Structure 1
Amino acid sequence: MNFASVTFLFFYLPIVVALYFMLRGRGARNVLLLAASLFFYAWGEGMGLALLLISIVMNHEFSHKIAKNRNPWLAIGIVANLGLLIAFKYMGLITESLGLARMEPRLPLGISFFTFQAMSLLVDVARGSKPARNPLRTGLYISMFPQLIAGPIVRWDEIRNQIVQRNETWDRFCDGTRLFMLGLAQKVLIADSVARIADAAFGADAANLAPGAAWLGLAAFTLQIYYDFAGYSNMAIGLGRVFGFELPRNFEHPYSAASFREFWRRWHMTLSRWFRDYLYIPLGGSKTGEWRTYRNLLIVFVLCGLWHGAAWTFLLWGLWHGLFLIGERLAERLNLPKVPRIIGVAYTVFFVALGWVLFRADSLSHAVAYWRALLPGGDVMIDVPSTSVYAMIIGGLFAWDGWKKLGARLPTPAPIGAAVQWGMIGVLTLFCFAAVASTTHQPFLYFRF
């Protein structure tokens, strides 16, 4: 079920919210959220629900065994989770790489996200956190519908207490609604609109594509993937807040970063922290010597690339980011002069965008052909809807974090500021509902990861 769909917005969500606030007692509300989450997943996955239930039961049992005896149950639990992930997500790549007939089961929605959450549960329990007392709480943690399909990745330590005790207030409800509508606008008004340009460019014959069209398509995809994923994250965080949960922030204007290191502190922040705390630091982090630090970075980002997709293009995309991070560390080590921040931002956005070619291309040969199309040579243009151009301009402007700082400096009285803000949310809501009703929205990009 898609957040940006008539079924979700006008039927599923209102019914779940109404039932939730009609119930009294934390246990009853948690049971409702669990049932609603399993229904939400079953709606889009059908038989894939069995895999989610297996993950819940399996990891609940592992968490209790780990609490009693860390070794060897932590290793067994991690291997079991990775085994499910490999079997359903990477079997096609593995069999193809070995020269065997490609075996590729259907990829369950959100398997990368809920598997990482399950492993967080096991590791956090091994580090001293208490496991859930009953499997319903474990089930709610792994399957909670706002962030089940595409994050943010929530760690057990961050939400364990909230499952048992949280406060649903009117202020949180309003703030969550506002954030949800903002995320919906990012998705359907910007991401889906600029997607028309990106799809036209990447769907064209790259060998004959004009450089202007290729650059425009790349710029469009650079904005599309940001607003698509950040929009989903804002919707998930907003829904969580409606139900009293405080989910971690996932984006902080990444295209205002002045280095790749800063980019990863702003982009998909929950995934960055997951890899940092559960892989990079256990490998030794940056405290085991310079060359081992480079090794650790490469391991983390190659795996980060593969986490996004079972294809060589994703592996190379991770390697791309890992090499730039190593290059920046080398520059610091050699005490090279720092460049002005505006140049750092331009460098980061330019090379991050070039890396997105690997992320968007259908194959490595397609990525190479598209990179060549960015150079002079081709003459094939693409159709560019005027509404998509307006969306690119607006998206480009609001990708800059200066607007937030500027808004904080404006001396606006609280009642007026709130009225203006809710007025804008109301207008965006009307536009969003019109876009959803016209079925012009696209599935979220991260649903396939």
Structure 2
Amino acid sequence: MLNLQPYQNPTYFLLLGLGLLPIMVGLLNGKRFRVYETVISFLFLLLTFGGPKWQEGLALIGYIVFELCILYAYLYHRRQKNSGSVFVLAVILAILPLVIVKLTPALSGHNSLIGFLGISYLTFKVVGIVMEMRDGLIKELDFKEVLHFLLFFPTISSGPIDRYRRFLQDYNKAPSKEEYIQLLGKGVFYIFLGFLYKFVLAYFFGSVLLPKVGHVALFDGGISWALVAYMYVYSMDLFFDFAGYSLFAVAISYLLGVKTPINFNKPFSAPNIKEFWNRWHMTLSFWFRDYVYMRFVFFIMKNKLLTNKVTIANLGYLVLFLLMGFWHGVTWYYIVYGLFHACAIIICDAWLRFKKKHQAKLPSNKATHLLGIVITFNVVCFSFLIFSGFLDTLFFRN
């Protein structure tokens, strides 16, 4: 059986074009072909998780069954009574498969049998539903709608991370002809931009430049200009590869009449690190902000564990970015990467408070704005050097 990873080769895009054409014609005429859309979704999931990836396919099926049981059990409980302990249990159970998948390589040296491509992003979606049920924003769950949301094939492997209620607003109706024509225009533009990012720029930085500067940096050892070059080249490769993939996912969603949130918004033009995280991998950043940081801060304040707002915010940043580091993997460089960004945001917050207090005495013009962009860019690139794991290869070779 043919196995194709999403957005990796021309065959996948050719099959996408052929498969989506009837859907596009229907949407141009204000109609959704539900059965056909379901069949196409199933076929593309089969392309991703079938053939040599059949074990991942079975893991995906088992995971969906497990998470659906959690969602409907918690929904049933919500109808009976409101208990915070059951909410916590539902969240723990929802993230348990992801925790097992992340910890297994560190503990055994082998990948978990229950792991599959996209388990993180599916888990984020499930936890988001549980959180919004807890808040009373989601009162009912339709089985088919939940399946369509979780298994939405354009974004299943690497996001962007949509929200359940926002997704249903698009998926349960066909857009007007004028609105869909606009979506088509944006979708086509994002496809071409994605090709530029992923198959031209990411290839140039990741496959042409990166091996060369990486080889020189390893040969030199220690801190050198080659290591600095590696830092910048890797950062560009990381951005263009992931941003290109995200553009494809958003574009295909648009062709399906679903306005999946954009994931990147000129992150390297951010004037400070806080603004950077409002532009980089935005759906993940906002997910962690809404479901981890804000709830952690609220819990601390509600229970009066701390009273100083600055201390609470800083502790929240440490928890937030440590979790984000551990999510990437249980290795020292991912954890240090998380701590680095937590410290960077804490320092940024302190600077913004100082700047606000002394704004009459401090210059604020295009030059200072540009300086902020340059400093932020270099801080981010250094963090990506840590994230790359190259320092582990460089300084901890046998």
Secondary structure of 1:153's aligned partner:
coil
Cα distance 1:263–1:22, how it changes in 2: closer, same or farther (>3 A)?
closer
Once the two structures are TM-superposed, the CA of residue 47 in structure 1 deviates from its matched residue by 1.5
Pair 30,347 (structure 1): closer, same or farther in 2 beyond 3 Å: same
Query: Which amino acid letter does the alignment assign opposite residue 212 of structure 2?
Result: A
Does residue 1:15 correspond to 2:42, yes or no? no
Q: Match for 1:143 among 140, 146, 151? A: 151
| Secondary structure class of the residue paired with 1:265 | coil
Question: 1:173, 1:73 → 2: CA distance?
Answer: 44
* 1:281 matches 2:294: yes
Contact in 2 for aligned 1:194/1:223 (Cα 8 Å): yes
Q: How far did residue 5 of structure 1 move?
A: 0.3
Q: Identify the residue that residue 392 of structure 2 maps to in structure 1.
A: 365
> Are 1:343 and 2:347 an aligned pair?
no
The 1:25/1:103 distance shift into structure 2, 3 A limit, reads: closer
Asked whether 1:198 is paired with 2:210, we answer yes
Partner SS state of residue 36, structure 1: helix
- Cα offset, 1:274, TM superposition: 0.4
Q: Residue 114 of structure 1 is aligned with which of 118, 122, 136?
A: 122
TM-score (normalised: structure 1): 0.74
- Structure 2 residue corresponding to 1:320, chosen from 315, 321, 340: 340
Deviations 1:12-68 (A, max 9, x none): 212321353577645324423431342243147321122222333333333333334
1:415-426 equivalences in 2 (<5 Å): none
Cα distance, 1:361 vs. partner? Answer: 1.9
Higher RCO (CA-CA < 8 Å; seq separation 6+): 1
CA distance in 1, matches of 2:267, 2:129: 28
**Equivalence for 1:330:** 350
Name 2:53's counterpart in structure 1: 45
Residue 234 (structure 2) pairs with residue 221 (structure 1):
yes
Q: For the residues of structure 1 that align with 2:389 and 2:138, how far apart are their CA atoms?
A: 44
Say whether residues 1:172 and 2:183 are aligned partners.
yes
- AA at the equivalent of 1:47: Q
Q: Return closer, same or farther for 1:298/1:112 CA change in 2, 3 Å cut-off.
A: same
Cα deviation per residue 1:141-197 (whole Å; 9 max; x = unaligned)? 112111111111111122122222232733422321221221122110101111121
Asked if 1:297 is matched to 2:324, the reply is no
Between the aligned partners of 1:166 and 1:311, the Cα distance in structure 2 is: 45
Which residue is 1:6 aligned to? 10
Aligned to 1:66: 74
Displacement of 1:204: 4.6
1:187–1:227: 8 Å Cα contact kept in structure 2? yes
Residue 238 in structure 1 maps to residue 229 in structure 2: no
Give the Cα–Cα distance (whole angstroms) in 1 for the partners of residues 254 and 25 of structure 2. Answer: 17
- Residue 280 of structure 1 and its aligned partner are, at CA, apart by 0.6
Q: Which runs of 5+ in 2 are unaligned?
A: 302-306
SS in 2 for 1:328: helix
How far apart, in 1, do the equivalents of 2:24 and 2:350 lie?
55
Task: Call closer, same or farther: CA 1:55–1:166 in 2, change over 3 Å.
Answer: farther
Structure-1 separation of matches of 2:45 and 2:139: 21
Stretch moving more, 170-179 or 76-85: 170-179
Give the AA of the match of 1:301. Answer: F
Q: Are the counterparts in 2 of residues 179 and 234 from structure 1 also a CA contact under 8 Å?
A: yes
CA offsets, 1:102-157, max 9 Å, x none?
45426521221111112112212222233665433212211211111111111112
| Paired letter, 2:150 | I
Q: Which moved more, 1:64-73 or 1:180-189?
A: 64-73
* Structure 1 residues 30 and 125: CA distance shift in structure 2, 3 A: farther
The CA deviation at 1:8 is 0.2
- For residue 206 of structure 1, what is the amino acid of its counterpart? L
2:292 corresponds to which letter in structure 1? L
Change in Cα spacing, 1:199 to 1:114, as seen in structure 2 (3 Å) is farther
Q: Is the 8 A contact 1:314 1:358 kept in 2?
A: yes
The secondary structure found in structure 2 opposite 1:220 is helix
The 5 Å alignment of 1:152-167 reads 152-167=160-175
Identity of aligned residues (%): 21
Q: CA RMSD in A?
A: 2.7
Out of 72, 81, 90, the position equivalent to 2:103 is: 90
Once the two structures are TM-superposed, the CA of residue 321 in structure 1 deviates from its matched residue by: 0.5
Q: Secondary structure at the match of 2:278?
A: helix
Judge conservation of contact 2:70–2:93 (CA < 8 Å) in 1. no
TM-score, structure 2 normalization? 0.82
Write the deviation string for residues 64-105 of structure 1: whole angstroms up to 9, x where unpaired. Answer: 333342335433332122210111122222x2xxxxx54542
Query: Matched residue of 1:146: which SS?
Result: coil
Secondary structure of the residue that 1:249 maps to in structure 2? coil
Contact 2:214 2:226 in 1 (8 A): no
Asked if structure 2 preserves the Cα contact closer than 8 Å seen for 1:264 and 1:272, the reply is yes
Larger CA deviation: 229-238 vs 16-25: 16-25
Cα distance change, pair 283–367 in 1 and its aligned pair in 2 (3 A): farther
